[in-house]
Structure 1
């Protein structure tokens, strides 16, 4: 029987490396938001694992909410069209918004999202991303908090997927090209 791990070319970031860095970023967010009105927004589905670990590493009052957007479908490249599937439940006015994303790749999705959310009058908007892939950036956007910069390879695991698979891997791995080039 074929296992998920058989589709992984190499492990890029171990479970231990990820946890240590997420805790470090959590401490920085704690310091930066100590006297603020923090609202952490997970951009579903990819960031849910990162969000769960990150929010447990933040030691100040924070609310959470979730938003679901789509720009990829089941392919490997962004379509450039962003669609809101699930909007926020909370009114953003007065909140210090921290968008929590799994990977900042082309930046099109987050750029679009940030522009829409600015119109809702939050006190501030910052971005925390697990992975930053600047080699593929097409939009004028950068993370305020980033755990790791990754090369231009197709990565999965720890919430990141290919065609809704591999999210449950406890590490970040590089997917074998023959898996996504079929």
Structure 2
């Protein structure tokens, strides 16, 4: 069994691409747009675990401060399982809230290539969701995304490098860092 790379080593070889203040500002901007788009409704707010948790919590509080109520649930679907490249999607938990006829907001830490989010969005629609939108804290800059998949609400762009912090992990470490880092090439 190989040793897990040290988070301290990663931090020493990474650049901060967005500090905590920039993240907070992006969340506030997203919350204003989402609140306006969902005014008069109570969307099903689906957090994508584990990475989406820090962002989803902060965004939910920002939405509550703006008067938008949410019905919380979560899902856990992963293609990575601790690895740095994705494989087959594995569902660890599906939402228990009935989605038929509901407006759904999927909340995740990053839109990279989008395979997981595309599958989850399709599943929500199969469950009868009236609408499924995506809120992603970060969107990676590249041209490899699933065709037609976009974040309806995107907070920040990140470079096409290995990024971690604020929900995104470095070998299952560093999700709770209050900034977003990118490993140097």
Q: TM-score, normalised by structure 1?
A: 0.90
**Is there any run of 5+ residues in structure 2 with no aligned partner, and where?**
1-5
Q: How does 1:69-80 map to 2 (within 5 A)?
A: 69-79=77-87
Superposition pairs of residues 46-85 of structure 1, within 5 angstroms: 46-58=51-63, 59-79=67-87, 81-85=88-92
Please show how residues 43-122 of structure 1 align to structure 2 within 5 Å: 43-58=48-63, 59-79=67-87, 81-122=88-129
Q: 1:139 Cα shift?
A: 1.1
Q: How many residues align?
A: 174
* 1:159 to 2:167 alignment: yes
Question: Following the alignment from structure 1 to structure 2, what is the Cα–Cα distance between the partners of residues 174 and 145?
Answer: 22
| 1:51-77 Cα deviation digits (max 9, x unpaired) | 000001113121111100110122211
Cα separation, 2, equivalents of 1:134 and 1:11: 16
**Corresponding residue number in structure 2 for 1:150:** 158
Preserved contact between residue 7 and residue 176 of structure 1 (Cα < 8 Å) = no
Deviation at 1:133, TM superposition (A): 1.2
Residue 137 of structure 1 deviates from its aligned partner by 2.7
- TM normalised by structure 2 equals 0.88
Shift of 1:106: 1.0
Q: CA RMSD in A?
A: 1.5
Q: Which stretch of structure 1 is more off in the superposition, 93-102 or 136-145?
A: 136-145
Asked if the contact 1:99–1:126 (Cα under 8 Å) also holds between the matched residues in 2, the reply is: yes
